Structure 1
Amino acid sequence: MTEAATRARADLRRASERYESTPAEGIETRHAFSFSGHYDPKNVHFGALLAVNEETLAPGAGYDDHKHRDTEILTWVLSGALAHRDGHGHAGVVRPGMLQWQSAGSGITHTERNVGGAAEPVRFVQMWLQPDVFDAPPAYGLRRVERAADGLTLLASGLTRDAASEALRLRRGDAALWLVTAGPWEPLPPLPEAPFRYAHLTAGSLGYRTVPGPQGGGRSMEPGDSVRATGDAFADPTAGADGVELLFWEMHSPVTYG
């Protein structure tokens, strides 16, 4: 763990601050971190996360064959349907309420497209996580998510603690991805503690304090906003008038190099 992770900080990033790209016709992407031709040396990762992209693919649009290696790729669809196919025989259609996991391992080539015949765009959040197992055989998983009654649903995890759960199994032993939900004006359920926590709001609105107690300033979030939290920051999160849904990363170590 780095020294920076010991300090409590909740870094709010607005959706409008994301770097926007159009890599091909019918594709719009908003990037949370440096990506492809966009490089900001002060914004290359957070915790073990390498990318958090909000993607929109118009009808008929998508990514042709492209390569990945040694990356955990998780996809959460907000609306529409996303068709996936890779060179190792894995194929699936990801719809709202489903999570797709692709472990690129020693190398994959895959396509991602708006499902054939669609009349509407597909919108999704795609997250890239650094594994701690490298050069492994590529792997794939797709699960339909049953939301937990307490509002805290484990989607994917590499933690030994979660080995017996229904969560997709990450090749990162100290990270987990959660879906967090709450009704109008309700406090969020107690969130897992970790040195690095990343919250991406997908629906509704949210208010929180930057740190616990009277020293914490009040902040609000709208869809597409995110918070990068260290220490005990991101305190007392509470849903707004329409409730809230967010993707929440629990990470116990940062990206490693070398």
Structure 2
Amino acid sequence: MEVWRGDRRFRGGDGAGVETSHAFSFGGHYDPENVAFGHLVACNEESLAPGAGFAEHPHRDTEIVTWVLDGTLEHRDDHGRTALLAAGDLQRLSAGTGVRHTERNAGPQPLRFLQMWLRPDPFGGPPEYTAVTAPVPPGPGLRLLASGDPDACPPVRLRQPRAALYAGRPDGPDACALPDAVHRYVHVARGSVRLADAEGEALLGPGDAARITGTAPVTASTAGPAEYLVWAMDPRP
């Protein structure tokens, strides 16, 4: 288990109301030892002031999954799709052969969201968009948010059959096992989460993450309300 504290993230932004914390190499920040984990190539914490946002820009061959923490996120793309997402909503943009989109804070309050990028499998295909309202209410355990497993029934389908995203939103003390996978990535958005395996334990706070390689059992426990996301990923056979 490798713990990455929030203060290790690369800080970015445009100086005009957008602040970003990057978990992996991104844009002008490049660290050859930190370009990906499993299929995950980006995990960005975004904070946008009212009215601030990202101007239209292109993507291709990327699965972009967004989890809104606070405020109102507006999505628009060149395929005519528009959406407003609130806290607890999930969005997936599969860029496929190419898509252009904008994202901005459409509300009067600060906007916070977590945006995660994955390598798709297969590449190509038409762009796809899905938005789901409040797929995981507060409660115990982990709930499946997104998956590419053809045998799963997630709220959001990924174009990556060996990746699944879970959300933990306990409203009190809780304990559960992390899903089995070769690569597991845990990001804490609110509260604190204690991860424990046979070799020890680590307490994660807001902005902290853990990268877990191997299939040994790991438990996640909380002493009170918290919010965290878990990616479970396996390599190609």
TM-score by length of 2: 0.94
Aligned to 2:141: 151
Larger Rg: 1
Q: How many residues align?
A: 236
Pairing of 1:82-121 with structure 2 (within 5 A): 82-115=73-106, 118-121=107-110
Which of 119, 131, 145 in structure 1 is aligned with 2:120?
A: 131
For 1:129-208, what aligned pairs fall within 5 Å after superposition?
129-147=118-136, 150-162=140-152, 165-187=153-175, 189-208=176-195
Alpha-carbon deviation of 1:96?
Answer: 1.0
Task: State the Cα RMSD in Å.
Answer: 1.8
Residue 6 of structure 1 is matched in structure 2 by: none
Paired residues for 1:1-258 under 5 Å: 10-115=1-106, 118-147=107-136, 150-162=140-152, 165-187=153-175, 189-209=176-196, 211-212=197-198, 216-232=199-215, 235-240=218-223, 242-253=224-235
Structure 2: which amino acid aligns with 1:222? G
**Shift of the alpha carbon at 1:176?**
0.7
Q: Which runs of 5+ in 1 are unaligned?
A: 1-9
Letter in 2 for 1:236: T
Distance 2:76 2:136 in 1: 27
Identity %: 45
Q: Relative contact order (alpha carbons < 8 A, sep ≥ 6): 1 or 2 greater? A: 1
Q: Give a deviation string over 1:136-160, Cα, whole Å, max 9, x none.
A: 1001000123437652211111002
Q: Taking structure 1 as reference, are residues 233 and 31 closer, same or farther at Cα in structure 2, changes over 3 Å only?
A: farther
Gap runs ≥5 in structure 2:
none
| One-letter amino acid of the counterpart of residue 86, structure 2 | R
Q: What is the distance in 2 between the residues matched to 1:71 and 1:208? A: 29
How far has the Cα of 1:120 moved from its partner? 1.5
| Partner SS for 2:206 | coil
- Per the TM alignment, residue 233 of structure 1 is displaced from its structure 2 partner at its CA by 5.3
Distance in 1, matches of 2:191 and 2:142, equals: 16
CA distance in 2, matches of 1:236, 1:102: 31
State the distance in 2 between where 1:171 and 1:143 align: 17
